[in-house]
Structure 1
Amino acid sequence: MGLRGAPRPRTAASRNRTAALEQLWRAPTAQRDPAGRAPSRRKPAPGPALAALTDLLGLAGPAWLLLRAGDQPRPMAAAAVAGLVWAGLRGVRGRYTDRPGTGPGGALGSVGDWLVLIGLLAVLHTAADAPVDPATAVVAVTPGLLIATAVAGVRRWQRSGRRGHRARRVLLVGEASAVGRAAELLNSRTDHDYRLVAAIPVGTARLELDGVQVPGRLAGCPADDDVSTVLGGVYAHAADLVLVAPGPQLTGDRLRRLGWGLHDGGVALSVVSELPGVAAERVRPVTAAGLTLLHIAPPLRGGPQTVLKNVLDRTGALVGLLALTPLLLAVALSVGLSSRGPVFHRQVRQGQHNRPFTMWKFRTMVADAEHLKARLAASNEADGPLFKMRGDPRVTPVGRLLRRTSIDELPQLVNVLLGQMSLVGPRPPLPEEASRYDEREHRRLTVKPGLTGLWQVSGRSDLSWQETVSLDLWYVDNWSVAADMGLLARTVRAVADGRGAY
């Protein structure tokens, strides 16, 4: 009498059958590419270790010089301790990880680490009753922050520069419908490191993928040749990553055994999550009772980051208005002289929680543009509730230039200063557009609308309505101050490119 799933006693017959199955398990069904070797695990790059050493020396070296110049006692020991704490802190907070989807943290992350370092050094200073002057110590570790920020920037630049040279060759495995969805998403975007080279469907459903090789097919139920079929596809197409889209026919023990075979063959395995629109930073895996649980942090709706975002918004808007005053005056003069009508265009838009506000822009159309809109309804090129038209006859020559450079949006810095808008966020809709929103689209109004956002750096008016909504919903659920800083930097490039601006 035995337990279901427990190992059974081995007999001569079972040993022979097991040996045959193991041989079948390991034998690929397709020939390896003779010009190359089988995929293998990547060797760890020296980058993280070098970055940690740079942080340690970058803080300890200047600290020792400044402490020594300030006649502080035991400057070498104090600088060494500060450097070790700094490198250890950065390591604990994941600044040296080089996994896909992670990064050095950027300038904002370095500032946060440095503030934590000050707190730790203050605790050590009090506990050890060190004779070092606290003010001098803070000045001494400041160069370490500048060096760490520079190193983080260089690492991020290197990672982005090497993206095309280290793209992962992906073999996609799963049921036809799931494989089709994953393939469509992978092929529709270029801002990732994954290149789809082949797909192996599960079951008998027809798989329609243009330009994607199908080297084999898995049966609808677990089979002894699952691993050999997948490994055959890996070797035939020189893939170094198997991406599995789980489904009713590929889950549980079958997926586990497939993972065993792939890892034994030196092939990396990733599983597609059924959590669309959730950033990796919000997901935390834990294990309980033999189950792998994914804890998902709620979207930011309050707390320190919200306060910091509001401070940065209003500070940035004030600085921007002061710095751009000459440009704003010149644009206002050109708008007023080029066509009849007011310099500014005021329009009621729907803001956070669907509250209306008056949004300001430089006028880029003729004075009676709103009355002419009804005549152009048949020429609308946008889907959904938007109205967009290339070569809109209502746009003035000066207005076309302002739209091409997005300078017409600069008066919205006043709205940001008043707290009605944010520097980064979804675009504010017109009341008639918002009145046609469904429940999903209405979620765009959960946060403040923005002067720029994901739509701005992803194609602007070239995007379909559903693509715009998807980008806005991703931002609403996954925004952070660090992400806002990155979007502001990418906006400069998008404005210079001018793609989708009309």
Structure 2
Amino acid sequence: MRLFRVPMSRQAPIPVARPPVRRVETGAHWYRPTALTVDVLAAGLPIAAAFVEVHDPHPLRLAAASALLWPLIGVFSKRYTPLAWGDRGGLRAVIRDWLVLVGALATVRVVCGLDSVPAEAFTALIPALVLTAVCQKAIHRHLLAARRNARALRHVLVVGEAPTVDAVVEQLAQRTDHEYVVVGACPVGDGEMRSGVPEYVRLPGEAPESPETDALAVLTAADEIAADLVFVAPGRLMSGERMRRLSWALHDGGRSLMVLPGITDVARRRIRLTSAAGLTLLHIAPPLQRGSHTVAKSALDRAGALALILFFSPLLVLLALAVRLGSPGPVLYRQTRVGRHGKTFAMWKFRTMVVDADRLKIGLEAQNENDGHMFKMRRDPRVTPVGRILRRYSLDELPQLFNILFGHMSLVGPRPPLPEEVLKYNGVEMRRLSIKPGLTGLWQVSGRSDLSWRETVALDLRYVDNWSLAGDMNVMARTLRAVLDGQGAY
């Protein structure tokens, strides 16, 4: 059996055949008992110790209530499910559950006629929050590693028109942080499939008179390849009524069904499901490009930039001396970049190249290693010895903190492009300019110059459409690891 799952490559993703992989449960057998044990101990032991310390008459009862309530809240919020372990936003759910725990324990004390909750009790609840969050993160990382090694996967049969099936296979092949691997397809109509995924049966273009025709074909194919899920893509040939009848048969046959709405790179928090007159409606909230969130982002950007300038001020002085003594020329390099809505600004960096680098670039155009509008060379002869070190650890970017302070840039955002790059942008790429560029971003923490132009644009557009303050915090935390690793920095 051929499976179609490849890691994100530096070229355009091409679905390729891979040897059969060993299938395991989506969640390893130790995930749930480990998470439950951590929650019980983290909620019970600190509470017991705190109430013993304040000489409470019933420390063990309160500790038992806490140890019972914390995992119970987790069960109701589905914190012990594969979906929660595979979710990057699991920390928000843990914080929400923790606040519920605090309120529940306070209510229990009031109902039992006990005194108000001492401050020590709230402090003792913090380990439950911290240890549960750490445990969730550890399970999340282990699950991602298993998926990258072609384990913890679910086999998928795709039903839809041939071009749509090819698009689904290609989209899933681009990343390895999900649990789905396409093992077969049931194309609808006469279109030719180009992805190479095994075609088990072809459904007629027009809905058959007998609804059982589609159902029998799809169920037979699913049984033959032991598919866990059936993905169905609606289209001209797969109408809503036809898909509805197929769903009945699949569910009656014990198969799970997922419908592909056709939209990509939309964060789950922006999606709300509703219905009207029997229609299932998918409401997609607009990106956060105005309002209180953007005001808060701007305020945090400037406050953060000021704090970082003060913190790194001794390092900034040392780096300035190193650049000045390392090669002739100014300490700072001033370059025109394009910001939000196409407005240009002067961006500052520590100089990492020889003084006439811009003139020399014309003779190096043929050696450009980037497949898009950017110019990148691994062994750029214009880079100075000191500049190579600064680039390796992204230290040359630190003067951009002043750009952030003056409102030209953000701490997190798309990479700031050059004017000559923007002149080559198409309509899709121009969307990168709808928010302020950033000192760091998804591009910087995902491989930087090693990424293809297509991957760079995809990451920037994903950020533009789905950014949030919590997501910015996550990117900044990942930036430290990316800087120390130095991958793609040249």
Report the counterpart of residue 198 of structure 1 in structure 2. 184
| Alpha-carbon shift at residue 203 of structure 1 (Å) | 0.8
Asked if 1 retains the 8 angstrom alpha-carbon contact of 2:183 and 2:225, the reply is yes
- Cα 1:188/1:137, change in 2 over 3 Å: closer
- 1:409-488 correspondence runs (5 A): 409-488=397-476
Asked if 2 retains the 8 angstrom alpha-carbon contact of 1:299 and 1:478, the reply is yes
| Alpha-carbon shift at residue 475 of structure 1 (Å) | 0.8
* Residues in 2 aligned to 1:74 and 1:208: alpha-carbon distance in whole angstroms: 69
Show CA shifts across 1:204-241 (max 9, x none): 1222224x222221111223432232233323333322
- Cα 1:242/1:50, change in 2 over 3 Å: same
| Alpha-carbon shift at residue 340 of structure 1 (Å) | 1.1
Report the counterpart of residue 320 of structure 2 in structure 1. 332
Asked if 1 retains the 8 angstrom alpha-carbon contact of 2:85 and 2:140, the reply is no
1:457 match: secondary structure: coil
1:151 match: secondary structure: helix
Show CA shifts across 1:251-284 (max 9, x none): 3222122223333333332222222221222212
* Residues in 2 aligned to 1:186 and 1:321: alpha-carbon distance in whole angstroms: 42
Asked if 2 retains the 8 angstrom alpha-carbon contact of 1:240 and 1:267, the reply is yes
Report the counterpart of residue 150 of structure 1 in structure 2. 134
- 1:175-214 correspondence runs (5 A): 175-210=161-196, 212-214=197-199
Asked if 2 retains the 8 angstrom alpha-carbon contact of 1:350 and 1:431, the reply is yes
| Alpha-carbon shift at residue 307 of structure 1 (Å) | 6.0
Report the counterpart of residue 161 of structure 1 in structure 2. 145
Asked if 1 retains the 8 angstrom alpha-carbon contact of 2:24 and 2:152, the reply is no
Q: Which structure has the greater CA radius of gyration?
A: 1
- Cα 1:439/1:151, change in 2 over 3 Å: same
- Cα 1:308/1:125, change in 2 over 3 Å: farther
Structure 2, unmatched stretches of 5+, are 1-19
* Residues in 2 aligned to 1:350 and 1:123: alpha-carbon distance in whole angstroms: 55
Out of 392, 400, 405, which is 2:393 matched to? 405
2:414 match: secondary structure: coil
Show CA shifts across 1:282-324 (max 9, x none): 2122233222111222222456755665565456545655555
* Residues in 2 aligned to 1:67 and 1:297: alpha-carbon distance in whole angstroms: 46
Give the letter for the 2:49 counterpart.
L
Q: Which moved more, 1:86-95 or 1:366-375?
A: 86-95
Q: Which moved more, 1:77-86 or 1:426-435?
A: 77-86
* Residues in 1 aligned to 2:310 and 2:80: alpha-carbon distance in whole angstroms: 39
Out of 42, 46, 51, which is 1:58 matched to? 42
Report the counterpart of residue 17 of structure 2 in structure 1. none
- The normalised TM-score by structure 1 is 0.79
- Cα 1:53/1:468, change in 2 over 3 Å: same
Query: Does 1:172 find its partner at 2:158?
Result: yes
Asked if 1 retains the 8 angstrom alpha-carbon contact of 2:228 and 2:256, the reply is yes
Give the letter for the 2:166 counterpart.
G
Report the counterpart of residue 5 of structure 1 in structure 2. none
| Alpha-carbon shift at residue 426 of structure 1 (Å) | 0.4
* Residues in 2 aligned to 1:482 and 1:411: alpha-carbon distance in whole angstroms: 25
* Residues in 2 aligned to 1:404 and 1:166: alpha-carbon distance in whole angstroms: 35
- Cα 1:246/1:418, change in 2 over 3 Å: same
* Residues in 1 aligned to 2:96 and 2:300: alpha-carbon distance in whole angstroms: 16
Report the counterpart of residue 361 of structure 1 in structure 2. 349
| Alpha-carbon shift at residue 408 of structure 1 (Å) | 2.2
* Residues in 2 aligned to 1:371 and 1:43: alpha-carbon distance in whole angstroms: 56
- Cα 1:395/1:194, change in 2 over 3 Å: same
Asked if 1 retains the 8 angstrom alpha-carbon contact of 2:201 and 2:221, the reply is yes
- Cα 1:43/1:150, change in 2 over 3 Å: closer
1:269 match: secondary structure: strand
1:178 match: secondary structure: helix
Report the counterpart of residue 135 of structure 1 in structure 2. 119
- The normalised TM-score by structure 2 is 0.81
* Residues in 1 aligned to 2:70 and 2:298: alpha-carbon distance in whole angstroms: 30
- 1:22-41 correspondence runs (5 A): none
* Residues in 2 aligned to 1:248 and 1:214: alpha-carbon distance in whole angstroms: 20
* Residues in 2 aligned to 1:420 and 1:90: alpha-carbon distance in whole angstroms: 43
Q: Which moved more, 1:331-340 or 1:382-391?
A: 382-391
Query: Does 1:370 find its partner at 2:358?
Result: yes
Q: Which moved more, 1:467-476 or 1:81-90?
A: 81-90
Report the counterpart of residue 219 of structure 1 in structure 2. 204
- 1:191-270 correspondence runs (5 A): 191-210=177-196, 212-223=197-208, 224-270=212-258
2:87 match: secondary structure: coil
Give the letter for the 1:140 counterpart.
A
Identity of aligned residues (%): 50
Superposed CA RMSD in Å reads 3.6
- Cα 1:199/1:84, change in 2 over 3 Å: same
Report the counterpart of residue 15 of structure 2 in structure 1. none
Asked if 1 retains the 8 angstrom alpha-carbon contact of 2:158 and 2:184, the reply is yes
Asked if 1 retains the 8 angstrom alpha-carbon contact of 2:144 and 2:177, the reply is no
- Cα 1:85/1:195, change in 2 over 3 Å: same
Q: Which moved more, 1:346-355 or 1:111-120?
A: 111-120
Show CA shifts across 1:1-26 (max 9, x none): xxxxxxxxxxxxxxxxxxxxxxxxxx
* Residues in 2 aligned to 1:468 and 1:40: alpha-carbon distance in whole angstroms: 33
Give the letter for the 2:194 counterpart.
E
1:285 match: secondary structure: strand
* Residues in 2 aligned to 1:234 and 1:497: alpha-carbon distance in whole angstroms: 43
How many pairs are equivalent? 464
Give the letter for the 1:151 counterpart.
C
2:184 match: secondary structure: strand
2:444 match: secondary structure: helix
Give the letter for the 1:188 counterpart.
Q
- Cα 1:140/1:401, change in 2 over 3 Å: closer
Q: Which moved more, 1:150-159 or 1:96-105?
A: 96-105
Out of 331, 351, 374, which is 2:339 matched to? 351
Q: Which moved more, 1:420-429 or 1:49-58?
A: 49-58
Query: Does 1:278 find its partner at 2:266?
Result: yes
* Residues in 1 aligned to 2:24 and 2:349: alpha-carbon distance in whole angstroms: 56
* Residues in 1 aligned to 2:307 and 2:152: alpha-carbon distance in whole angstroms: 40
Report the counterpart of residue 96 of structure 1 in structure 2. 80
Asked if 2 retains the 8 angstrom alpha-carbon contact of 1:73 and 1:132, the reply is no
Report the counterpart of residue 3 of structure 2 in structure 1. none
Show CA shifts across 1:363-386 (max 9, x none): 111111123334444544445543
Give the letter for the 1:208 counterpart.
R
Show CA shifts across 1:407-434 (max 9, x none): 3223333434454433321011223434
Asked if 2 retains the 8 angstrom alpha-carbon contact of 1:49 and 1:96, the reply is no
